[in-house]
Each structure stands twice: as structure tokens, then as C-alpha cells.
Amino acid sequence: MTVKAQDERLKPIAFWQRLLLRPELGSVAGLVVVFAFFAVVAGSSGFLSWAGTRNYLEVAAQLGILASAVALLMIAGEFDLSVGSMVGAAAVGIALLAHPSYGDLPLGLALLVTMSFALLIGYVNGYLVLRTGLPSFIVTLAMMFILAGANIGFTKLITKLTIVSGLNEKIAQDPVARLFTGELLGLPAAVWWWLGVTAVLSFVLLSTPFGNWIFGAGGDANAARNVGVPVWRVKITLFMLTAAAATLLAAIQVMGLGSANVLQGQGKELEAIAAAVIGGCLLTGGYGSVIGAGIGALILAMVQQGIVYTNIDLDWFKVMVGGMILGAVTLNNYLRKLSLQVRR
């Protein structure tokens, strides 16, 4: 890190200037503000208690598992709107395959089969996007409807209902379930999954050649291809990853509740995108952070759970979410411009 000062314009880089280069900076600021707000407004009514903390951590974990994979895909320049429907399809898939009256497979095997199906859907998403050259927004929008519709259709055909319940006994007996429902150090398994997935994906993004390809594929797919980045492989892998993340979330939810609902996960695709964007991801790709997406999920969860401890009606939650998104994106935009200026 030593450079001979041959140029009088070269000043040492200040710590704060270095910080500006971090895409998640805006979300950290947002987190502090949101936490402070609820600590002041609702601190005495339970927001700061262990139960309150646990509450929003669990909500954040469920969203964060999706958001971390969605963030990688967004950095690679693509969307996946089908990820919410995938949660519902995977949940029903696991439930039906494991249900004593239907598949009666061991939970682990049911999960494995469902995961294979999800990976296939992810592959199809990626293949269609790349093959047709259509925006992933359109392709995965279509997949969102197809998955949601087929899920309701098949489930009603098989069970006559839109809910698959009655798995509690099976879950209680199966040791595999404890991986998704257990607790460690007072925190539910979902939170540990979230932290693990976020850590691994962030590591992949920042510290492996594949991570560099993700930035490259999203920054300028043509330029990246010209220098030898396998853009197809990168994008298809990431579409498969978001489908896998949806299945992981489905497993956590099914084994926690003992039942699956065809409507499960709907709308989560937009919340995950919101978390990723709050965390500094650019809609146009090439820029963003997995950690940021995790912080984004934490902010959204804090707002959603925090509002319960205030006098504000829960109906206002979405207004706050919208405000958060606008505020965070404006701030991120400003910070990014600043980071390109201070170095000149």
C-alpha cells in the first residue's frame, strides 16, 4: 500500500472516503434510524425486549434468505419475480411428498425431490431469459403466474383443498426437521440459516472468481463475454440459486407450521427485491451487496414487527415500507455519485 508521491494530487484516502465505496452504507444508516425510531417510540412497550428482538430477527431471517440470493441475481443484472410463487410451490411439494396420506416419503427425501424440481425451474427461467433475450422481468413474471396457477390446480386436484395440513406428527418424529425448527443459543434455526447463507453468498461474491463474474455479467454482459466470462453459466446458476433459496424458506415454513398453503410466499418476491435495493443493489445490475440485502431484510422486518409495539395501526406498514424504499434508494444513489466524485 505504499506509493511514491510523485503526483501532488495524490492524497491519502480518508477512512470515510473508503466507507463511501461500500454499497451497503446507505442501508446501515437506514438501520440505525429505524432502530432508533422504534427504540424511542416503542422501547417501553416491548420492542427492545428479547422476545421483541427474536420476533423481528425471525421475520428478517425468512426474508433475508430470499433476499441474499435475489441480490446476487440482481447484481448479475437479472430479476426473479417467480421466487415468491416458488416458495408456495415448494412448500406444497414438500408437504404432499411427506404427507402420510400422499407421498409418505421421509422429510429429507421429500425436501431433496422438491429441491431438484426447484433447481429445474430455476434452470428453465435462466435458459428462457438467455435463449430468447427477453427481459427476465417478463420471463419470470410469466413463470410466477404459471407456478402459482399450477400449484393451486394440482393441489386442489389431489387434496380438494388449498391447504395441506396434518404433518405435525411426522415432523415431530423426523430428526431432519430439527435442522429447520430447532434452536441454538436462544435463536431459531431460520436465523442461523439466514446468517449462514448470507455469509457464504457474500464470500462467493467478494472473494471468488465467480463473484467477479457476477459483477461482470451484470455490469456489461457483452464486455464480460468478450474478456472470457461465461455469462450464461453465471446467470443460469444464479436463477437456480434463487429457486433453491425459495425451497429452503419453504422447508423452514412447512416444518415450523406443520402445514403448507398454496398462497404461501406470494408477494415475497417484491419484498426480497425491496430488501436488496435498500441494501444497495442497482436495478440495472453490476453493483450491490449481499450483506446489504441482509440489512435491508432486517430493516423491513423491524418496521413490520416494530409497528406492532406502537400505537400505529398495522395497516400503515406498507406506507412505511414504500417510504423506506424511496428514502433508501435516493440515499444510495446520492452516495454512489459521491463515491465517484471524491476520488477524482
Partner 1 sequence: MTPLVELRKVSKYFGPVVALKDIDMKVYAGEVHCLLGDNGAGKSTLIKTLSGVYPPSEGQILLEGEPVVFNSPRDALDRGIATVYQDLAMLPLMSIARNFFLGREPKRRWGPFTLYDAAFAARVAREELRKIGINIRDPDQPVGTLSGGERQSVAIARAVYFGAKVLILDEPTSALGVKESAVVLRYIVQAKLRGLGVIFITHNVHHAWAVGDTFTVLNRGRSYGTFKKAETTREQLLQMMAGGEELEALSVELELIAKKDPIAAAQVEQRLAEDLHGPN
Q: Which residues bind partner 1 (CB under 8 A)?
A: 3, 6-7, 10-13, 18, 21, 206-209, 211-213, 215-216, 219-220, 222-224, 226-229, 282, 286-287, 336, 339-341, 343-344
Minimum separation from the CB atom of position 14 to partner 1 (A): 11
Between 47 and 215, whose beta carbon lies closer to partner 1? 215
What does the block give as the cell for 278? 435498500
**307 in Cβ contact with 320 (< 8 Å):** yes
- Please provide residue 43's backbone torsions phi and psi, each rounded to the nearest 5 degrees: -60, -40
Strand 183-184 to strand 187-188: parallel, antiparallel, or no bridges (unpaired)? antiparallel
Between 6 and 311, whose beta carbon lies closer to partner 1? 6
Minimum separation from the CB atom of position 293 to partner 1 (A): 17
Minimum separation from the CB atom of position 219 to partner 1 (A): 3
Between 224 and 297, whose beta carbon lies closer to partner 1? 224
Between 88 and 218, whose beta carbon lies closer to partner 1? 218
What does the block give as the cell for 64? 433475508
Q: What is the rounded end-to-end Cα distance, in angstroms, of the chain?
A: 19
Minimum separation from the CB atom of position 286 to partner 1 (A): 6
The residue to which cell 427474536 is assigned: 54
The total number of residues shown for the chain amounts to 344
Q: Tell me the Cα Rg of the chain.
A: 21
Minimum separation from the CB atom of position 77 to partner 1 (A): 11
Between 4 and 160, whose beta carbon lies closer to partner 1? 4
243, exposed or middle or buried, with CB in 10 Å at 0-12, 13-18, 19+? buried
| 260: nearest Cα among 98, 118, 104 | 98
Minimum separation from the CB atom of position 196 to partner 1 (A): 16
Q: How far is CA 259 from CA 40, 77, 87, 92, 254, in A?
A: 38, 35, 13, 8, 5
Minimum separation from the CB atom of position 11 to partner 1 (A): 7
Between 226 and 311, whose beta carbon lies closer to partner 1? 226
**19 in Cβ contact with 337 (< 8 Å):** no
DSSP 186-232: TEEHHHHHHHHHHHHHHHHHHHSHHHHHHHHHHH-HHHHHHTT--HH
Between 110 and 224, whose beta carbon lies closer to partner 1? 224
Between 20 and 300, whose beta carbon lies closer to partner 1? 20
Within 13 Å, how many C-alpha atoms sit on residue 100's CB side? 10
Q: How far apart are CA 218 and CA 75, in angstroms?
A: 6
Minimum separation from the CB atom of position 288 to partner 1 (A): 10
